[in-house]
A and B are shown apart, each in its own frame.
Chain A
Amino acid sequence: EIVLTQSPGTLSLSPGERATLSCRASQSVSSSYLAWYQQKPGQAPRLLIYGASSRATGIPDRFSGSGSGTDLTLIISRLEPEDFAVYYCQQYGSSPWTFGQGTKVEIK
């Protein structure tokens, strides 16, 4: 099983700041099979990024993804109030498909 470890656990930032979220895999994953999801309290997760760097439909361009192999990064270039949420990375290339434990982006 591929274990995904996200860091940091919590990121305290102010609106307008840049957020950098990391996800490290226990073994190499094809970048074609890496995704990021956003989850707000009481809501279902929402797909942000797939294939490591492709934005899902309707996702603003302040969200960008990069990485390959064992290291994946999500960058939010300038935080908007609605971006404060929990973010999960996921690999879907090797069963069982696994999620990271999440990074909470909170208002400082």
Chain B
Amino acid sequence: QVQLVQSGAEVKKPGASVKVSCKASGYTFTSYGMSWVRQAPGQGLEWMGWISVYNGNTNYAQKLQGRVTMTTDTSTSTAYMELRSLRSDDTAVYYCARRAVAGFFDYWGQGTLVTVSS
């Protein structure tokens, strides 16, 4: 069965970076894209971007351009999302989500809480 297992919670200081991992299993990793979505406390879902696992192409939300990098390691079927220059409003649960060929997000990781606090 398809599973996306994310790394554990992180606490970071403002200005630091965080790298969240998402290990996939149960399907051919290179056949699907991977999106990242975040959710601030008590708020809705915000799409951050996605990466084509097949060729490494990325598409980032404009508001995060320059601060976010999405990568994959096909040898371990793991996707990564790095966010730099963290601010307090980056405090959120970060989700990876498999992007189906048609574009919707059919499987989600369990989420990783990133807390940015001095």
Binding site for B on A (CB under 8 A): 32-33, 35, 37, 39, 44-47, 50-51, 56, 88, 90, 92-93, 95-102
Contacts and interface: CB of A to CB of B under 8 A. Distances in A.
7 contacts: A45-B97, A45-B105, A45-B108, A88-B45, A96-B62, A97-B50, A99-B37
A99 B46 contact: yes
A88 B43 CA distance: 12
Nearest to A51: B102
Nearest to A102: B44
Nearest to A46: B108
Contacts of A98: 47
A99 B108 contact: no
A97 B47 contact: yes
A97 B62 CA distance: 11
B103 A101 contact: no
Interface string B99-114: 0101111111111000
Contacts of B95: 44-45
B59 interface: yes
B42 to A, nearest CB: 11
B32 to A, nearest CB: 13
